[in-house]
DNA sequence: CTGAAAGCGCTTACAG
DNA sequence: CTGAAAGCGCTTACAG
């Protein structure tokens, strides 16, 4: 029942442990004869190296933590983007033959758990996504001195190398598109104002309108569907004459569509709607949603590259990925 | 830069390594004086036990693998239920102070990687979700002899203890509800027929109709939105007179709504629609979707319980969780 | 209650 | 090219 050890293999093959270790690790300096003997014993015994023992001596674990830090309400972990991050990051890391250890930090206790886990040497590096403005975790993790890269710039640790999409440019594209469609009174539903991504998208919206001498009409949501619904109601109350809305993510755009439907406004005839992210659901709204896309898979690849770069040079520079406007029927 | 070791703490505190180890592990047989000394040294040095070394001697890792096995197309990892599983499982495991190691197995190579990882002793047990009928992974993992529990009954390893919702009963509820609304020609969109959950939902549909002398109208999808859309088109072609459809999950129901809209059928006036899962998006469809709910959080809790039971007694029996019909405006 | 010693299963200089 | 030995950082009987 017990797993065979290196020693058992050595005994069976009639060689030393050193030799077995060399063969198992692909060392080329082993005589074919010996290698043959060892491989046979490995097969017969079904030997698999104990990676804990190996890690103890090599000081590497081959694992990377993917830390998702969320406010207690769990905003992000309910977002389809969450699956996208997890999936893309896993695939990219797998390609680099690293293992992903997912850690959800949704409370103060779990944040402590994450710190201890990282401090205990379980992982070689960390990939971070923090959806929580005041989150102290990025800074705390930073202090441990491990290689670390982030999806988006973390508020509490702006010096962490990060990958982000061009939030400002993306918002610009969205608003310029609405302007080009002849919309006059363009509102926005912003994300939480303590997040840098929200700030940037809001800035892009504001600046674009200001450039054309138009005024901003703003409501603030928290990136959930329900907050988009509420924000839209608020906007309709503030300015019943609005003819377009840019939601800072697709989930809020979906909520906004819902509110508009209840209010009896037709989309896009009365009000045009544009989102951000291009989640799958954007294809299935009624009408299908115009949105700003920045593929998560690209971001994951970039974050993994940053991390690998950190392992080698110790240096890594932020990466900003371009966005693309996807025009559908809601605008 | 190097992390302090047990030995360094012992030296600083002027005691033996044994004593430090005892204090760190909460052994109560240590004299308050000594304990005091050790704790001070631990703080001064910022000592955190190296968990790799600890695992090597204790033979436990305190980690559980959450293995998500998907067909190459990645059906499940695009499903909102995926986040729900991951999130719920993480929380439940955290409550049991175990660490989650997420492994996505979406190809043959990655399946091998998962096996090796488990064989290498990285985890104490595995939680499995297999969305792939012919998946050989569950059986392979079973053979390693580790404690293992599954979300849903795996086709290739039916003896693995599992937790599932009452798929048959849930489908029954859905169809009986449609019948009680006076619907006469009730179609269904099934999931992949090689998955047990699909089979059970289909059986529930079939039996309920058969009991009332009605005939089945069936199209097969693969649990994605787009397949629901296509299946709905097919059904409308097969039987233009249908007045209701039961989709085996919400994603396909969303696709069906899309197809019905294009075909100019009103929901629920012309065709009533019922889904399965009760994902968040079901609240935001137009009209909001009637569906069958079985909370993922409960399932996760149950799977974790099975696993913990396995660690203790070595025995665990399958658990079937009840479903609940959530009636909204689509039916 | 405390400490010296052995050992968990590997890797890696160091001799030969 | 191969092997004996030391060591990675802990825990745990075993004496005292």
* Residue of A199, A241, A183, A104 lying closest to B88 (CA atoms): A104
Asked if A146 and A178 sit in the same domain, the reply is no
CATH for B171: 3.40.50.2300
Q: Domain span at residue A137?
A: 63-164+297-320
Region A277-282 average pLDDT = 95
Would the Cβ of A181 be found within 7 angstroms of any atom in strand C? no
Region A309-328 average pLDDT = 92
Angstrom distance (rounded) from CA B126 to CA A173: 46
Asked if B156 and B200 sit in the same domain, the reply is no
If you average pLDDT over every residue of chain B, what do you get?
92
Residue B171 has pLDDT above 90, yes or no: yes
Distances (CA, A) of B262 to A261, B190, B266: 18, 21, 10
Region A280-296 average pLDDT = 94
Nearest chain B alpha carbon to A226: B284
**Tell me, in Å, how far CA of B88 is from C1' of C6?**
43
Angstrom distance (rounded) from CA A14 to CA B123: 31
Taking residue B320's Cβ as centre, other Cβ atoms within 10 Å add up to 16
Would the Cβ of B61 be found within 7 angstroms of any atom in strand C? no
Asked if B176 and B277 sit in the same domain, the reply is yes
pLDDT at A282: 96
A188, part of any domain: yes
Distances (CA, A) of B251 to A226, B88, B104, B151, B278: 19, 20, 21, 19, 10
pLDDT at B265: 98
Percent of chain A with pLDDT over 70: 99
Nearest chain A alpha carbon to B252: A284
Domain count, chain A: 3
Q: Flag whether residue B57 sits within 8 Å of chain A, measured between CB atoms.
A: no
pLDDT at A113: 85
Asked if B118 and B142 sit in the same domain, the reply is yes
Would the Cβ of B31 be found within 7 angstroms of any atom in strand C? yes
Place of tokens 């690998």: A308
**Tell me, in Å, how far CA of A22 is from C1' of C7?**
23
B326, part of any domain: no
Asked if A301 and A287 sit in the same domain, the reply is no
Compute the half-sphere exposure of residue A290: CA atoms within 13 Å on the CB side of its CA: 24
Q: What does the pLDDT look like over B310-331, one tens digit per residue?
A: 988 888 899 999 999 999 999 9
Would the Cβ of A16 be found within 7 angstroms of any atom in strand D? yes
Top pLDDT among A95 and B284 is at B284
Residue B1 has pLDDT above 70, yes or no: no
pLDDT at A129: 93
Mean pLDDT comparison of B70-74, B111-115, B167-171, highest-scoring range: B167-171
Q: Residue A216: exposed, middle, or buried by beta-carbon count in 10 A (0-12, 13-18, 19+)?
A: middle
Angstrom distance (rounded) from CA B291 to CA B178: 11
Tokens (6 digits) for B205? 């549909």
pLDDT at B311: 87
Asked if A286 and A178 sit in the same domain, the reply is yes
Asked if B160 and B182 sit in the same domain, the reply is no
A55, part of any domain: no
- Considering only CB atoms, B284 lies closest to which of A83, A100, A225, namely A225
Eight-class DSSP state of A216? P
Asked if B139 and B33 sit in the same domain, the reply is no
pLDDT at A1: 52
Q: Which residues of A touch B283 (CB under 8 A)?
A: 225
Mean pLDDT comparison of A51-55, A322-326, B57-61, B194-198, highest-scoring range: A322-326
Q: What does the pLDDT look like over A163-206, one tens digit per residue?
A: 999 999 999 999 999 999 999 999 999 999 999 999 999 999 99
How many CB pairs lie under 8 A apart between chains A and B?
Answer: 130
Top pLDDT among B83 and B133 is at B83
Q: Which residues of B touch A254 (CB under 8 A)?
A: 281, 284
Would the Cβ of B29 be found within 7 angstroms of any atom in strand C? yes
A155, part of any domain: yes
CATH for B41: 1.10.260.40
A331, part of any domain: no
Asked if B204 and B282 sit in the same domain, the reply is yes
pLDDT at B117: 87
Asked if B207 and B138 sit in the same domain, the reply is no
Residue A74 has pLDDT above 80, yes or no: no
Angstrom distance (rounded) from CA B111 to CA B3: 35
A276, part of any domain: yes
B250, part of any domain: yes
Angstrom distance (rounded) from CA A329 to CA A310: 43
A329, part of any domain: no
Region B87-115 average pLDDT = 87
Q: Flag whether residue B144 sits within 8 Å of chain A, measured between CB atoms.
A: no
Asked if B136 and B183 sit in the same domain, the reply is no
Residue B293 has pLDDT above 90, yes or no: yes
Asked if A174 and A122 sit in the same domain, the reply is no
């Amino acid at each position: 029942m017990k797993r065979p050890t290196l020693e058992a293999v050595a005994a069976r093959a009639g060689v030393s442990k050193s030799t077995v270790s060399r063969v198992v690790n692909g060392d080329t300096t082993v005589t074919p004869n010996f290698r043959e003997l060892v491989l046979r014993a490995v097969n017969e015994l079904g030997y698999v190296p104990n990676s804990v023992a190996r890690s103890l001596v090599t000081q590497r674990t081959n694992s990377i933590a993917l830390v998702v830090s969320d406010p207690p309400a769990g905003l992000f972990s309910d977002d389809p983007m969450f699956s996208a991050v997890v999936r893309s990051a896993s695939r990219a890391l797998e390609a680099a033959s690293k293992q992903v250890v997912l850690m959800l930090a949704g409370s103060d206790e779990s944040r402590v758990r994450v710190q201890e886990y990282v401090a205990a040497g379980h992982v070689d590096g960390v990939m971070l996504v923090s959806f929580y403005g005041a989150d102290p975790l990025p800074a705390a993790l930073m202090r441990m001195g491990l290689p670390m890269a982030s999806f988006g710039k973390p508020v509490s640790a702006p010096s962490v190398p990060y990958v982000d999409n061009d939030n400002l440019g993306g918002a610009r594209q969205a608003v310029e598109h609405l302007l080009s469609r002849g919309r006059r009174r363009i509102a926005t539903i912003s994300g939480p104002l303590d997040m840098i991504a929200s700030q940037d998208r809001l800035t892009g919206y504001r600046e674009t309108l200001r450039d054309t001498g138009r005024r901003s009409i703003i409501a603030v949501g928290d990136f959930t569907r329900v907050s988009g619904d509420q924000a839209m109601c608020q906007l309709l109350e503030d300015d019943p004459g609005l003819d377009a809305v840019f939601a800072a993510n697709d989930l809020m755009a979906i909520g906004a569509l819902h509110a508009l439907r209840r209010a009896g406004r037709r989309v896009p005839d009365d009000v045009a709607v544009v989102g951000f992210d291009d989640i799958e659901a954007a294809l299935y709204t009624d009408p299908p949603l115009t949105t700003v896309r920045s593929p998560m898979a690209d971001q994951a690849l970039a974050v993994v590259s940053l991390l690998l770069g950190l392992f080698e040079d110790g240096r890594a520079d932020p990466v900003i990925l371009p966005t693309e406007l996807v025009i559908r029927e809601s605008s």
